[in-house]
């Protein structure tokens, strides 16, 4: 990776951390709170692409692992990776990877703004919602022993907010693509 790539990845790691300053909203149905940090994961993918977006998320997870309170609610440390949200944290890596990869495949600079926005939304939704939920629900169901149906139905409460986050990530991706494109292109 070049110095520029590391700086961009670090910048988006800082954005993910900054989104953690917003307080988490507990639902009560399930032990996973609503946070804004998954928006940062989606934005890292759509703006930076698969490789740099994934590095941004890995930087955040390293900060968490060494004990810095960078997650929503001021959480950090290795104990977080044993809690009920660990599946979602692990899923962040794959969410950024898939979101970035799909963005690189679906979005081109020569496309109209609408087509780019739809491409970014699809990438954000598939990577930042579908993939992220697959990891989070699987962890809650099997490792945290919630049961698949309880984990799945409890996670449905997050869908409207995460679809909204995918829209915001698509708008951010489109704005940056129009002004200063950073997204690598795959052929």
Q: In this model, does residue 186 exceed pLDDT 80?
A: no
Residue 19: inside a domain: yes
Residue 108: inside a domain: yes
Q: Which domain holds residue 151?
A: 3-179
Tens of pLDDT, residues 40-95: 999 999 999 999 999 999 999 999 999 999 999 899 999 999 988 899 999 999 99
Among 3-7, 27-31, 53-57, 167-171, which is the least confidently predicted range?
A: 27-31
Tokens of 181: 């494109």
Residue 73: inside a domain: yes
What does the H/E/C string look like for the chain?
CCHHHHHHHHHHHHHHHHHCCCCCECCCCCCCCECCHHHHHHHHHHHHCHHHHHHHHHHHHHHHHCCCCCECCCECCHHHHHCCCHHHHHHHHHHHHHHHHHHHHHCCCCCCHHHHHHHHHHHHHHHHHHHHHHHHHHHHHHHCCCCHHHHHHHHHHHHHHHHHHHHHHHHHHHHHHHHCCCCCCCC
Q: In this model, does residue 31 exceed pLDDT 80?
A: no
- Output 43 or 33, whichever has higher pLDDT: 43
Burial letters 119-136, b for 16+ CB under 10 A, else e:
bbbbbbbbbbbebbbebb
Q: In this model, does residue 30 exceed pLDDT 70?
A: no
DSSP lists the bridge partners of residue 25 as 34
pLDDT at 115: 95
pLDDT-derived band at 187, boundaries 50, 70, 90: low
Residue 184: inside a domain: no
DSSP lists the bridge partners of residue 71 as 75
Q: CATH number for the domain including 70?
A: 1.10.1760.20
Residue 186: inside a domain: no
Overall number of domains in the chain: 1
pLDDT at 162: 94
Residue 25: inside a domain: yes
Residue 187: inside a domain: no
Please report the sign of the dihedral spanned by the C-alpha atoms of residue 108, residue 111, residue 113, residue 119. negative
% residues pLDDT > 90 (the chain): 70
Tens of pLDDT, residues 99-132: 999 999 999 989 999 999 999 999 999 999 999 9
Residue 96: inside a domain: yes
In order of 44, 47, 79, 172, 180, the CA distances from 176 in angstroms are: 12, 7, 36, 6, 5
């Amino acid at each position: 990776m070049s110095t520029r790539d590391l700086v961009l990845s670090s910048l988006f790691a800082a954005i993910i951390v900054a989104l953690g300053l917003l307080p988490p909203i507990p639902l009560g149905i399930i032990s996973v709170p609503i946070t804004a940090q998954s928006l940062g994961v989606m934005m890292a993918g759509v703006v930076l692409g698969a490789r740099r977006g994934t590095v941004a998320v890995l930087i955040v997870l390293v900060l968490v692992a060494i004990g810095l309170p960078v997650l929503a609610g001021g959480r950090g440390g290795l104990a977080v990776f044993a809690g009920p949200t660990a599946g979602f944290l692990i899923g962040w890596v794959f969410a950024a990877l898939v979101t970035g990869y799909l963005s690189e495949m679906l979005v081109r600079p020569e496309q109209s703004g609408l087509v780019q926005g739809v491409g970014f939304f699809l990438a954000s939704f598939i990577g930042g919602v579908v993939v992220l939920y697959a990891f989070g629900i699987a962890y809650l169901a099997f490792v945290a022993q919630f049961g698949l149906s309880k984990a799945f139905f409890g996670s449905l409460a997050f869908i409207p907010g995460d679809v909204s986050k995918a829209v915001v990530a698509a708008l951010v991706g489109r704005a940056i693509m129009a002004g200063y494109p950073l997204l690598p292109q795959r052929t």
